[in-house]
Structure 1
Amino acid sequence: MGRARTKSKKSKVLSTEPIVGSTTPSIQSLLEKAQSLIVQCDYELAERFAKRVLEQEHTNIDAKEILGVAQLETGELDAAKLTFQSLLPPHPDAPSIPPPWAHLYLAQLNDDDPHLALQHYQAAVDLLIAQLKGKERAVDTPGEDDDETELKRNVVRALIGMVEIWMDDLCFDPSAEKTCEDLLNLALQTDPGNSEALQALASVRMSQQRPDDAKACLEQAWTIWKDLELDDPRLPPIPTRLALVRLFLELSLFTPALLVLQGIMASDDQEVEAWYLEGWCFFLMAEQAQEKGGKLDELTWEELARDARDCLETCQVLHTNQEHPDAPLLEHVHELITKLDALGIQPSPENDDSGNEDGWEDVEGSDDSDEDVEMS
């Protein structure tokens, strides 16, 4: 299959004018303004509004979350850590029941201390499961509401965060494998069929050298959401989909990898890792085409290699323009481009290297991202 034309998704620009009036703005109006600024990625102004709320009500939990997020996004990591810690005992201003998200943020902020991060994740899971049980006991709420669904997703994501720590930082611990299995079993008991839990299970199966089982998990995970619209809230976040693509590539499942990337690019055609993975995918396809006599899916290895070069060149430009922090990714891009140079593969003449306006037309047989694909 060939590359797909992508379009930039432009977000609606909201007013950033301060709230004015003859009376002091209410706390609710200040919080709403701060939240809208977070959505607009105007973190510095959002921080100012959150602090205005805290000047009036120094224990306001919503304002502290907005403040902590703004500090995170502007690189004030120590300040963010203090903000979230103020919501946990033994801090004198901490609420009687801490918000689970404070532990989740602190788990990520303490990624250099895996055992402390695990403690925060476990605390978040305990709080979320308690909330979930409270929802289940509410007899006046038939069925599953949106809050319950979101609680389950958050439990699963916290458990997956714990699995990732065990797989990466604590992988040599004798109990790592069983712990990962137990955590993922709990995730799938909490939210049966959760695509992110299935994807994490596939990653564990790959580490166990069980590629067929991994493939079955990925097929089940992808089937759950591959036909959803791009604005559907059930669609996994882009980082989760990028991780799925990496697993597809490990299993040489190139067509589903390209289809997932096509959906990501339709949402954000400035995503550096998506361009990298697309280039890497075409590079691997070109190698496979050479091994099979020069063609793969009716495309010559030279055509596939040129598509790889175009994607990698675009990735390189975006990486530089965005001052992207992933240096190893850029090193691999340079390595692949050097190999393509040695093969005499140059960028397509019409490639604009920007990823902004001109894209690539679908070739026959690569229609939409909801196309059924056999993962074989």
Structure 2
Amino acid sequence: MGRIRTKSGKVITSKPSPATVVKEEPSTQSLLSKAQSLITQCNYELSQKFIRRILERDPHHVDARELLGITQLEMGELEDAKKTFQSLLSPTRSTVVPASAHLYLAQLSDEDPNLALKHYEAAVGILHNQLKGKERADAPTDADDSEESEADIRKNIVKVLVAMVEIWMAPTYDLCFDPKAEETCENLLKTAFETDSNNIDALICLSSFRLSQQKPEEAKQAAIQAWSVWKDEEDESKIPAISSRIELTKRFLEVQEYAAALHVLQTIMATDDQDVEAWYLEGWCFYLMAEQAKETNTKIEELSWEELAKDSRDCLENCRSLHTNLEHPDDKLLEHTIELIGQLDSLGIKPTPEEEQQEDDGDEWEDLPDDEDGDGDIDMS
């Protein structure tokens, strides 16, 4: 834009022609934010366009390369994703290797458990360094933010340690037959509790591990402790993820703590009443209770085996319907659901008519006391 003085002495301002206007390039941060937003929207192809614009400016941009790997992973380009995450393992002078790169590579190494364990070990090392403050970038100055950041790192460390225990315990791998498997799992869990003493996922993992050792009482106590951490929590942000609550439900079923399992399932239904696995587990829980009541010729929570079986049938029918409507990928879950429905049908147990279900839904188990379970009384506190 120029200034021109006329013969009369007046100063006028000239407007630039459109051709001379230079459009400001978006900042790297704005491109990164846009790419992240598109990933959240599952628009991976468009997200990649923004990511590649960042990488044209800075081929070694860590966050951009990580996002590129995530989009490739989501699009099923597993080999490309693996190469992208591997490229993050060579740090430059201005960057460090992100723990997330090792975590993704561990998940992509499911056919090689030893390689997966190496990546998990590397991730734990990086996270421990962050916990010590050695490699933490952009350290927050606010005390509350600092505490929250430390808590997040501790939770992430425990998640990795739990993943390592699960690899050692997995029957699909030969590692579970290794003479040092049990001791290794004990040490990993010990480190997990030293890192975060009341971590729910670690307690659930401990319960599973004790079951594998044929120590049902210790497994039950670990599951109860995991539940006690959050069962009276009013802050929804502190309630564990649905996946963790699903696993806790499974542990309760395995140790025959049926009332506790139903309580946990109610919290899942309150969050998502279309969770297919939750409906399956509730149906399976009522089925086990009905089986127990029939075998002992007793009532459980004042319900006969026929009433419990009918509740089971209704839950399983809901599970089957949702599985089909939502195109749920777990075919084995559907197979077992259909098998259980067939067994109930052979016993003469028919589903409740839909109009009756709507009237009675949730009434029978709404006010269960915390100290009762399907096979006796127990203090859950």
| TM tier, smaller | 0.7 to 0.9
Contact map agreement 2:313 2:350 (CA 8 A) in 1: yes
Supply the AA of the counterpart residue of 1:318: L
Contact map agreement 1:211 1:251 (CA 8 A) in 2: yes
Structure 1 residue 33, shift from structure 2 partner: 2.1
Q: Hey, what does 1:78 align to over in structure 2?
A: 79
Cα distance between partner residues in 1 of 2:207 and 2:218? 7
Q: Hey, what does 1:34 align to over in structure 2?
A: 35
Q: Which moved more, 1:165-174 or 1:73-82?
A: 73-82
SS in 1 for 2:236: coil
Q: Hey, what does 1:204 align to over in structure 2?
A: 209
Supply the AA of the counterpart residue of 1:342: S
Mapping 1:249-264, distance limit 5 Å: 249-264=253-268
Pair 1:43–1:267, CA change in 2 (3 A): farther
Pair 1:147–1:301, CA change in 2 (3 A): same
Pair 1:40–1:299, CA change in 2 (3 A): farther
Contact map agreement 2:162 2:189 (CA 8 A) in 1: yes
1:285 aligns with 2:284: no
- Report the aligned-residue RMSD: 2.9
SS in 1 for 2:354: coil
Gaps of 5+ in 2: 1-21
Supply the AA of the counterpart residue of 1:62: D
Contact map agreement 1:87 1:95 (CA 8 A) in 2: no
Q: Hey, what does 1:102 align to over in structure 2?
A: 101
Q: Hey, what does 2:123 align to over in structure 1?
A: 124
Gaps of 5+ in 1: 1-20
Cα distance between partner residues in 2 of 1:274 and 1:338? 20
Q: TM-score normalised to the size of structure 1?
A: 0.83
Contact map agreement 2:129 2:135 (CA 8 A) in 1: no
Cα distance between partner residues in 1 of 2:46 and 2:205? 37
SS in 1 for 2:36: helix
Q: Hey, what does 1:8 align to over in structure 2?
A: none
Structure 1 residue 160, shift from structure 2 partner: 0.5
Cα distance between partner residues in 2 of 1:316 and 1:151? 39
Identical aligned pairs, as a percentage? 55
Of 360, 368, 372, the residue aligned with 2:370 is 372
Structure 1 residue 142, shift from structure 2 partner: 5.9
Q: Hey, what does 2:159 align to over in structure 1?
A: 157
Cα distance between partner residues in 2 of 1:374 and 1:49? 55
Q: Which moved more, 1:69-78 or 1:25-34?
A: 69-78
Pair 1:230–1:256, CA change in 2 (3 A): farther
Of 224, 228, 232, the residue aligned with 1:223 is 228
Contact map agreement 1:87 1:94 (CA 8 A) in 2: no
Cα distance between partner residues in 2 of 1:135 and 1:262? 43
Q: If you compute each CA radius of gyration, which structure gives the higher value, 1 or 2?
A: 2
Contact map agreement 1:86 1:93 (CA 8 A) in 2: no
Pair 1:178–1:373, CA change in 2 (3 A): same
Mapping 1:333-348, distance limit 5 Å: 333-348=337-352
Q: Hey, what does 2:9 align to over in structure 1?
A: none
Structure 1 residue 374, shift from structure 2 partner: 4.8
Higher relative contact order (CA 8 A, sep 6+): 1
Contact map agreement 1:278 1:311 (CA 8 A) in 2: yes
Q: Deviations over 1:53-84 (max 9, x none)?
A: 33333222222232322332333322222221
Pair 1:310–1:67, CA change in 2 (3 A): farther
Q: TM-score normalised to the size of structure 2?
A: 0.82
Supply the AA of the counterpart residue of 1:253: E
Cα distance between partner residues in 1 of 2:316 and 2:300? 20
Q: Deviations over 1:17-61 (max 9, x none)?
A: xxxx95433221222222223334444443443333333332222
Q: Hey, what does 1:11 align to over in structure 2?
A: none
Structure 1 residue 320, shift from structure 2 partner: 2.6
1:361 aligns with 2:366: no
